[in-house]
Protein backbone atom coordinates (compact mmCIF):
# COMPACT_ATOMS: atom_id res chain seq x y z
CA UNK A 1 0.00 0.00 0.00
CA UNK A 2 2.80 2.45 0.83
CA UNK A 3 4.24 1.85 -2.64
CA UNK A 4 0.89 2.72 -4.24
CA UNK A 5 0.57 5.80 -2.06
CA UNK A 6 4.01 6.97 -3.15
CA UNK A 7 3.10 6.37 -6.79
CA UNK A 8 -0.07 8.41 -6.35
CA UNK A 9 1.89 11.15 -4.56
CA UNK A 10 4.35 11.31 -7.42
CA UNK A 11 1.56 11.56 -10.03
CA UNK A 12 -0.08 14.33 -8.03
CA UNK A 13 3.18 16.20 -7.44
CA UNK A 14 3.72 16.31 -11.20
CA UNK A 15 0.12 17.08 -12.17
CA UNK A 16 -0.53 20.19 -14.23
CA UNK A 17 -4.33 20.07 -14.01
CA UNK A 18 -6.02 17.98 -11.38
CA UNK A 19 -9.70 17.13 -11.15
CA UNK A 20 -10.88 15.71 -7.83
CA UNK A 21 -14.22 13.94 -8.25
CA UNK A 22 -15.98 13.13 -4.99
CA UNK A 23 -19.08 11.29 -3.84
CA UNK A 24 -20.87 10.48 -0.62
CA UNK A 25 -17.99 8.35 0.72
CA UNK A 26 -15.93 11.55 0.95
CA UNK A 27 -18.18 12.81 3.75
CA UNK A 28 -18.85 9.53 5.54
CA UNK A 29 -16.14 10.12 8.15
CA UNK A 30 -17.83 13.45 8.93
CA UNK A 31 -20.87 11.45 10.03
CA UNK A 32 -22.94 11.89 6.86
CA UNK A 33 -24.43 8.66 5.50
CA UNK A 34 -23.74 7.45 1.97
CA UNK A 35 -26.55 6.32 -0.36
CA UNK A 36 -25.88 2.80 -1.63
CA UNK A 37 -23.93 0.97 1.04
CA UNK A 38 -25.74 -2.20 1.96
CA UNK A 39 -26.14 -1.65 5.72
CA UNK A 40 -26.27 2.07 6.40
CA UNK A 41 -26.73 3.74 3.00
CA UNK A 42 -29.73 6.09 2.90
CA UNK A 43 -31.34 4.20 0.02
CA UNK A 44 -31.27 0.99 2.11
CA UNK A 45 -33.84 2.56 4.44
CA UNK A 46 -35.54 5.29 2.44
CA UNK A 47 -37.24 5.17 -0.96
CA UNK A 48 -35.50 7.47 -3.46
CA UNK A 49 -38.64 7.56 -5.64
CA UNK A 50 -40.57 9.09 -2.72
CA UNK A 51 -37.85 11.39 -1.44
CA UNK A 52 -35.66 12.37 -4.36
CA UNK A 53 -37.99 12.93 -7.31
CA UNK A 54 -40.34 15.74 -8.33
CA UNK A 55 -43.20 13.23 -8.42
CA UNK A 56 -42.44 12.29 -4.79
CA UNK A 57 -42.41 15.96 -3.79
CA UNK A 58 -45.72 16.67 -5.52
CA UNK A 59 -47.28 13.59 -3.89
CA UNK A 60 -46.10 14.42 -0.36
CA UNK A 61 -44.24 17.73 -0.05
CA UNK A 62 -44.21 17.61 3.76
CA UNK A 63 -42.55 14.18 3.86
CA UNK A 64 -39.84 15.29 1.45
CA UNK A 65 -39.28 18.65 3.13
CA UNK A 66 -39.05 17.09 6.60
CA UNK A 67 -36.53 14.51 5.34
CA UNK A 68 -34.31 17.21 3.85
CA UNK A 69 -34.60 19.23 7.07
CA UNK A 70 -33.39 16.15 8.96
CA UNK A 71 -30.47 15.70 6.56
CA UNK A 72 -29.64 19.41 6.72
CA UNK A 73 -29.52 19.21 10.52
CA UNK A 74 -27.05 16.30 10.30
CA UNK A 75 -24.95 18.26 7.83
CA UNK A 76 -25.00 21.47 9.87
CA UNK A 77 -23.52 19.56 12.82
CA UNK A 78 -20.80 18.01 10.65
CA UNK A 79 -17.23 19.23 10.22
CA UNK A 80 -14.71 18.52 7.48
CA UNK A 81 -12.40 15.61 8.36
CA UNK A 82 -8.68 15.25 7.53
CA UNK A 83 -9.53 13.92 4.05
CA UNK A 84 -11.44 17.13 3.17
CA UNK A 85 -8.52 19.16 4.54
CA UNK A 86 -6.07 17.13 2.43
CA UNK A 87 -8.18 17.83 -0.68
CA UNK A 88 -8.12 21.56 0.10
CA UNK A 89 -4.36 21.41 0.76
CA UNK A 90 -3.75 20.02 -2.75
CA UNK A 91 -4.67 23.50 -4.07
CA UNK A 92 -1.54 24.84 -2.37
CA UNK A 93 0.68 22.32 -4.14
CA UNK A 94 -0.77 22.01 -7.63
CA UNK A 95 -1.62 25.00 -9.79
CA UNK A 96 -4.87 23.94 -11.48
CA UNK A 97 -7.16 22.08 -9.09
CA UNK A 98 -10.91 21.78 -9.39
CA UNK A 99 -13.15 19.75 -7.11
CA UNK A 100 -16.21 18.25 -8.80
CA UNK A 101 -18.53 16.90 -6.16
CA UNK A 102 -21.81 15.04 -6.13
CA UNK A 103 -22.21 16.00 -2.48
CA UNK A 104 -24.68 18.66 -1.43
CA UNK A 105 -23.17 19.24 2.02
CA UNK A 106 -20.73 22.07 1.31
CA UNK A 107 -17.93 20.41 3.31
CA UNK A 108 -15.27 20.95 0.61
CA UNK A 109 -15.87 24.71 0.81
CA UNK A 110 -15.82 24.55 4.64
CA UNK A 111 -12.47 22.76 4.42
CA UNK A 112 -11.04 25.56 2.28
CA UNK A 113 -11.39 24.31 -1.32
CA UNK A 114 -12.01 27.35 -3.53
CA UNK A 115 -13.02 25.94 -6.90
CA UNK A 116 -15.86 23.49 -6.25
CA UNK A 117 -18.44 22.42 -8.83
CA UNK A 118 -21.52 21.13 -6.99
CA UNK A 119 -23.02 18.83 -9.62
CA UNK A 120 -26.07 17.93 -7.55
CA UNK A 121 -26.71 21.35 -6.02
CA UNK A 122 -26.66 22.33 -2.37
CA UNK A 123 -28.84 21.29 0.53
CA UNK A 124 -28.21 24.72 2.07
CA UNK A 125 -29.91 26.53 -0.81
CA UNK A 126 -33.58 26.54 -1.84
CA UNK A 127 -35.76 27.41 -4.80
CA UNK A 128 -39.49 27.60 -5.37
CA UNK A 129 -41.58 25.67 -7.84
CA UNK A 130 -42.06 28.83 -9.90
CA UNK A 131 -38.33 29.16 -10.44
CA UNK A 132 -37.19 31.69 -7.85
CA UNK A 133 -33.66 30.51 -7.10
CA UNK A 134 -31.02 31.30 -4.55
CA UNK A 135 -33.22 31.30 -1.44
CA UNK A 136 -31.44 30.74 1.88
CA UNK A 137 -32.76 29.54 5.24
CA UNK A 138 -32.71 33.20 6.34
CA UNK A 139 -35.21 34.02 3.59
CA UNK A 140 -37.57 31.42 5.07
CA UNK A 141 -37.33 32.28 8.77
CA UNK A 142 -40.58 32.78 10.60
CA UNK A 143 -42.48 30.33 8.40
CA UNK A 144 -43.98 27.39 10.24
CA UNK A 145 -45.42 25.55 7.24
CA UNK A 146 -43.65 22.45 5.96
CA UNK A 147 -42.58 23.12 3.26
CA UNK A 148 -42.45 26.90 3.47
CA UNK A 149 -43.74 29.21 0.72
CA UNK A 150 -41.72 31.41 -1.56
CA UNK A 151 -41.19 34.80 0.10
CA UNK A 152 -40.75 36.65 -3.22
CA UNK A 153 -43.45 39.23 -3.99
CA UNK A 154 -46.65 37.76 -5.48
CA UNK A 155 -45.30 34.21 -5.50
CA UNK A 156 -46.20 31.93 -2.56
CA UNK A 157 -45.19 28.74 -4.44
CA UNK A 158 -43.86 25.75 -2.51
CA UNK A 159 -40.17 25.86 -1.66
CA UNK A 160 -37.87 22.86 -2.19
CA UNK A 161 -34.17 22.18 -1.65
CA UNK A 162 -31.95 23.24 -4.56
CA UNK A 163 -30.62 19.73 -5.14
CA UNK A 164 -30.83 17.65 -8.30
CA UNK A 165 -33.41 14.91 -7.97
CA UNK A 166 -33.59 11.76 -10.08
CA UNK A 167 -34.89 12.58 -13.56
CA UNK A 168 -33.80 16.24 -13.34
CA UNK A 169 -31.24 18.07 -15.45
CA UNK A 170 -28.01 19.25 -13.88
CA UNK A 171 -27.23 22.96 -14.08
CA UNK A 172 -25.91 23.27 -17.63
CA UNK A 173 -23.09 25.70 -16.79
CA UNK A 174 -21.85 23.43 -14.02
CA UNK A 175 -21.95 20.17 -15.97
CA UNK A 176 -20.42 21.76 -19.08
CA UNK A 177 -17.48 23.01 -17.08
CA UNK A 178 -17.19 19.61 -15.34
CA UNK A 179 -16.84 17.92 -18.75
CA UNK A 180 -14.32 20.50 -19.99
CA UNK A 181 -12.22 20.14 -16.84
CA UNK A 182 -12.35 16.35 -17.07
CA UNK A 183 -11.18 16.46 -20.68
CA UNK A 184 -8.39 18.90 -19.86
CA UNK A 185 -6.96 17.33 -16.72
CA UNK A 186 -3.86 15.16 -16.72
CA UNK A 187 -4.69 13.54 -13.36
CA UNK A 188 -8.10 12.70 -11.92
CA UNK A 189 -8.46 11.73 -8.26
CA UNK A 190 -11.77 9.95 -7.59
CA UNK A 191 -12.86 9.66 -3.96
CA UNK A 192 -15.82 7.85 -2.42
CA UNK A 193 -18.27 7.37 -5.25
CA UNK A 194 -19.91 4.16 -6.40
CA UNK A 195 -19.79 5.51 -9.97
CA UNK A 196 -23.30 4.48 -10.92
CA UNK A 197 -25.04 7.87 -11.26
CA UNK A 198 -24.59 9.67 -14.55
CA UNK A 199 -23.54 12.11 -15.84
CA UNK A 200 -21.10 12.35 -12.88
CA UNK A 201 -19.95 8.77 -13.50
CA UNK A 202 -19.12 9.61 -17.14
CA UNK A 203 -16.49 12.18 -16.19
CA UNK A 204 -13.71 9.66 -15.44
CA UNK A 205 -14.24 8.12 -18.90
CA UNK A 206 -13.67 11.56 -20.48
CA UNK A 207 -10.45 11.92 -18.50
CA UNK A 208 -9.33 8.37 -19.30
CA UNK A 209 -10.03 8.83 -23.03
CA UNK A 210 -7.75 11.88 -23.00
CA UNK A 211 -5.02 9.81 -21.32
CA UNK A 212 -5.30 11.32 -17.86
CA UNK A 213 -3.97 9.14 -15.06
CA UNK A 214 -6.72 8.03 -12.72
CA UNK A 215 -6.29 7.52 -8.97
CA UNK A 216 -9.19 6.15 -6.92
CA UNK A 217 -9.65 6.17 -3.14
CA UNK A 218 -12.40 3.89 -1.84
CA UNK A 219 -12.57 1.11 0.79
CA UNK A 220 -14.47 -1.02 -1.77
CA UNK A 221 -14.12 -1.55 -5.49
CA UNK A 222 -16.53 0.63 -7.47
CA UNK A 223 -17.85 0.77 -11.03
CA UNK A 224 -14.86 3.02 -11.79
CA UNK A 225 -12.08 0.88 -10.29
CA UNK A 226 -11.27 -0.85 -13.59
CA UNK A 227 -10.43 2.58 -15.07
CA UNK A 228 -8.08 3.48 -12.23
CA UNK A 229 -4.33 3.31 -12.81
CA UNK A 230 -3.86 3.38 -9.03
CA UNK A 231 -6.50 2.07 -6.64
CA UNK A 232 -5.88 3.13 -3.03
CA UNK A 233 -8.12 0.86 -1.02
CA UNK A 234 -9.08 2.66 2.19
CA UNK A 235 -11.11 5.53 3.54
CA UNK A 236 -10.70 9.15 2.49
CA UNK A 237 -9.79 10.20 6.03
CA UNK A 238 -7.02 7.61 6.27
CA UNK A 239 -5.61 7.55 2.77
CA UNK A 240 -5.55 11.22 1.72
CA UNK A 241 -3.41 12.56 4.61
CA UNK A 242 -0.95 9.73 3.85
CA UNK A 243 -0.81 10.78 0.21
CA UNK A 244 0.03 14.33 1.28
CA UNK A 245 2.67 13.04 3.66
CA UNK A 246 4.16 11.04 0.79
CA UNK A 247 4.22 14.20 -1.36
CA UNK A 248 6.32 15.74 1.41
CA UNK A 249 8.56 12.67 1.40
CA UNK A 250 7.41 11.92 4.92
CA UNK A 251 5.89 8.49 4.36
CA UNK A 252 8.11 6.04 6.15
CA UNK A 253 8.49 2.48 4.86
CA UNK A 254 6.79 -0.07 7.05
N1 LIG B 1 -13.99 6.96 2.21
C2 LIG B 1 -14.08 6.82 0.86
N3 LIG B 1 -15.08 6.15 0.24
C4 LIG B 1 -16.02 5.59 1.01
C5 LIG B 1 -15.99 5.68 2.42
C6 LIG B 1 -14.92 6.40 3.01
N7 LIG B 1 -14.84 6.56 4.34
N8 LIG B 1 -17.06 5.01 2.91
C9 LIG B 1 -17.74 4.54 1.85
N10 LIG B 1 -17.12 4.88 0.70
C11 LIG B 1 -17.53 4.59 -0.68
C12 LIG B 1 -18.40 3.37 -0.85
O13 LIG B 1 -17.61 2.19 -0.95
C14 LIG B 1 -19.12 3.70 -2.17
O15 LIG B 1 -18.37 3.29 -3.29
O16 LIG B 1 -18.34 5.67 -1.11
C17 LIG B 1 -19.20 5.23 -2.15
C18 LIG B 1 -20.58 5.78 -1.89
O19 LIG B 1 -21.42 5.45 -2.98
P20 LIG B 1 -22.93 6.00 -3.08
O21 LIG B 1 -23.60 5.80 -1.77
O22 LIG B 1 -23.54 5.40 -4.28
O23 LIG B 1 -22.72 7.59 -3.24
P24 LIG B 1 -22.46 8.43 -4.56
O25 LIG B 1 -21.61 7.69 -5.52
O26 LIG B 1 -22.01 9.78 -4.13
O27 LIG B 1 -23.93 8.56 -5.16
C28 LIG B 1 -24.13 9.39 -6.27
O29 LIG B 1 -26.51 9.18 -6.03
O30 LIG B 1 -28.48 9.14 -4.80
C31 LIG B 1 -27.62 9.90 -5.55
O32 LIG B 1 -27.62 12.24 -5.52
C33 LIG B 1 -27.10 11.12 -4.82
O34 LIG B 1 -25.05 12.32 -5.23
C35 LIG B 1 -25.61 11.03 -4.97
C36 LIG B 1 -25.45 10.11 -6.17
Per-residue pLDDT of the chain (254 residues; tens, 9 = 90+): 789 999 999 999 999 999 999 999 999 999 999 998 877 888 888 889 999 999 999 999 999 999 999 999 999 999 999 999 999 999 999 989 999 999 999 999 999 999 999 999 999 999 999 999 999 999 999 998 999 999 998 999 999 999 999 999 999 999 999 999 999 999 999 999 999 999 999 999 999 999 999 999 999 999 999 999 999 999 999 999 999 999 988 554 44
**Spatial separation of the C-alpha atoms in residues 248 and 28, rounded to whole Å:** 26
Ligand 1 lining (C-beta closer than 6 Å): 23-25, 28-29, 34-37, 41, 102, 120, 191-194, 197, 217-220, 222, 235-236
Is 67 in the same domain as 129?
Answer: yes
Is 73 in the same domain as 85?
Answer: no
**Spatial separation of the C-alpha atoms in residues 249 and 245, rounded to whole Å:** 6
Is 54 in the same domain as 13?
Answer: no
143 domain residue, yes or no: yes
Is 215 in the same domain as 242?
Answer: yes
What are the Cα distances from residue 143, in Å, to 84, 86, 125, 156, 235? Answer: 34, 39, 16, 12, 40
Is 8 in the same domain as 110?
Answer: yes
Report the CATH number that the domain containing residue 42 is assigned in CATH. Answer: 3.30.1600.10
Is 92 in the same domain as 186?
Answer: yes
What are the Cα distances from residue 83, in Å, to 26, 36, 49? Answer: 7, 21, 31
252 domain residue, yes or no: no
254 domain residue, yes or no: no
Q: Which atom number of ligand 1 is nearest to the Cα of residue 163?
A: 32
Is 104 in the same domain as 221?
Answer: yes
Is 96 in the same domain as 207?
Answer: yes
Alpha helices, DSSP H only, in 112-251? 137-140, 172-184, 203-209, 236-247
**Spatial separation of the C-alpha atoms in residues 116 and 106, rounded to whole Å:** 9
pTM comes to 0.96
Q: Which atom number of ligand 1 is nearest to the Cα of residue 83?
A: 1
Is 55 in the same domain as 93?
Answer: no
Q: Which atom number of ligand 1 is nearest to the Cα of residue 42?
A: 21
Write out the catalytic residue numbers: 120
Q: What's the 45 CA to ligand 1 centre distance in angstroms? A: 15
Q: What's the 25 CA to ligand 1 centre distance in angstroms? A: 4
The domain tally of the chain equals 2
Domain that holds residue 127: 33-77+122-163
Side-chain half-sphere of 242: how many Cα atoms within 13 Å?
20
Among 20, 23, 167, residue to substitute to test ligand 1 (most atoms within 8 Å of Cβ): 23
Among 26, 27, 35, residue to substitute to test ligand 1 (most atoms within 8 Å of Cβ): 35
Is 106 in the same domain as 48?
Answer: no
| Region for residue 195 given its phi and psi (left: phi exceeds 0; alpha: psi -120 to 50; beta: otherwise) | left
Nearest CA to ligand 1 atom 4: 25
Rg, Å, the chain Cα set: 19
**Spatial separation of the C-alpha atoms in residues 95 and 101, rounded to whole Å:** 19
**Spatial separation of the C-alpha atoms in residues 74 and 76, rounded to whole Å:** 6
Report the CATH number that the domain containing residue 191 is assigned in CATH. Answer: 3.40.50.1220
253 domain residue, yes or no: no
Nearest CA to ligand 1 atom 7: 235
Amino acid sequence: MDYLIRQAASLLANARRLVILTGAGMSKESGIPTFREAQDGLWATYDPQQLATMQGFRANPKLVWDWYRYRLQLIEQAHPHPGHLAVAELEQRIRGVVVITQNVDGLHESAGSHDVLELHGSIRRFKCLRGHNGLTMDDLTGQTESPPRCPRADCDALVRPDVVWFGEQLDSTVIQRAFLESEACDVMLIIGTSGVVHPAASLPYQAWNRRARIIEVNPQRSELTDLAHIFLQGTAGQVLPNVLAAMDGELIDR
